[in-house]
Chain A
Amino acid sequence: MKPSPFAYAKPADLAEALRLKADHGDDGTFIAGGQSLVATLNMRLSSPDILIDIGGVTELSGIEVSDGSVRIGALTRHRDLEDSPDIKTHAPLIAEAIAQVAHPAIRNRGTMGGSIAFADPAAELPACILALDGAIEIAGPDGRRKVAAGNFFKGLYDTDLGTGEMITAVEFAADSDDWRTGFDELARRHGDYAMAGLAARLRMDGDSIAEARLVYFAVGDKPMLATGAGGELAGKPLSAETIEAAAASLDSDLEPFDDLHSSAAMKLHLARELTRRVLTKIAGGAQ
């Protein structure tokens, strides 16, 4: 299908972009890479009066590592993350996840900010940012603010972003040597939206797990931090028994719902299986 007609503006800088958004309110929509948005426009699931193309706001692009923290500008493309030695070193979780984000042609245009703002519950990057305990940096008419990822994702395609606001960057602490990470997802076709996925980070204290952040996606209305499973792992070694205990506790952590391709029961089964696969792989790599 073809989109409804809309007008188009391409601001040169952030201030102009925010001004345009303030002028048009909910009738104006920001477009970055457009890899989710244009599909929804084509299917007429959304029909804004004007697209505000932030593709020229180059100040929003780039990856910076300083003082133990990583800052990824909103316009940074998946391809940039894929090719970045800094991401490989300081955020191996994202480096592992990014190859599963859609397909190469889409990764060449899709952006970090777009993925976070769209908040698809089956998307990889929102889950990674939550697993990284990151923060979302937001600019709006009243200046800039930061929101913890745990408070940013509210529900199905619903975030803490207010009318007139846009994401400018995401930030998180660079992984220190005591973190182990793993990522996997199950999809019908490589690069398609997952039926279930897991972004996992474990902080090790010698042989035992000091802290576990297991974030499941495509099994709820937003990325889900499994606190019960994390609790099962804390203070224990990463053994077959503890992995099985974590997998079992997902019954109370997750409440998946049926979708086109899988029932809730199947999603829960896949989440448990991903727990075994990802944590067993981390255990193998740690030795």
Chain B
Amino acid sequence: MSNRITITAQVNGETVTRDVEPRQSLVDFLRENLELTGSHVGCEHGVCGACTVRMNGEIVRGCLTLAVQADGAEVETVEGLSDTGEIADLQDAFLRLNAIQCGFCSPGMLITAAELLDRNPAPDRTQIREFIAGNYCRCTGYQTIVDAIEAVAKERRG
């Protein structure tokens, strides 16, 4: 038994209303129904972090959140955060310091890094590593990712 359910959410500032299957994950909804393919689908069981998006201002796993659970919520993806310029300095540092290799983990890494710096403006390298521990980089480029986040933290503090 499966009935489609109508949901309405604010996605990157735009109100969208769609009929979804209850079993559809939030990340599949974003990618397949809204064509926002910046959020990636990796492990589909909460381990890799590639699907990380923001819901009601906080990062969540897009694969462990159902689209129906986003009804009434505010959802932000890497596309939205790029358009607003909120993570422009992080994106610039990731490029500048070679923290992007294949790019598969990058959207999740950027959104996770944004929440870390929001909650802790002066993290040390251990705290950065612990905070991004839920995001796998399949190129194993962690050193430069930590470098980039550390650099932005310093830049933002001035």
A residues in contact (CB < 8 Å) with B: 1-8, 10, 31, 34-35, 38-39, 41-43, 49-51, 53, 55, 79, 99, 102-106, 108-109, 189-191
Contact = CB atoms under 8 A, between A and B. Distances in A.
A109 B60 contact: yes
Nearest to B20: A8
A102 B134 contact: yes
Contact of B52 (A1, A31, A38, A105): A105
Nearest to B126: A190
B5 interface: yes
B129 A42 contact: no
Contacts of A8: 3, 5, 22, 66, 68
Interface in B45-59: 45-46, 49, 52, 58-59
B1 A6 contact: yes
A104 B59 CA distance: 8
A73 B28 CA distance: 31
B23 A109 contact: no
Q: Main SS of chain B's interface residues?
A: mixed
A239 to B, nearest CB: 31
Nearest to B26: A38
Nearest to A3: B23
Given A6-B23, A7-B3, A103 B49 contact: yes
Contacts of B135: 103
Interface of B: 1-3, 5, 21-23, 25, 28, 44-46, 49, 52, 58-61, 63-66, 68-69, 112, 115-116, 129-131, 133-135
B45 A55 contact: no
Contacts of B25: 2, 38, 42
A53 B1 contact: no
Contact of A42 (B2, B5, B44): B44
B103 to A, nearest CB: 19
Given A42-B45, A42-B63, 14 more contacts: A5-B1, A7-B1, A35-B46, A43-B45, A99-B130, A102-B134, A104-B115, A105-B60, A105-B112, A106-B134, A109-B61, A109-B65, A190-B129, A191-B134
Contacts of B5: 8
Contacts of A10: 68
A74 B5 CA distance: 26
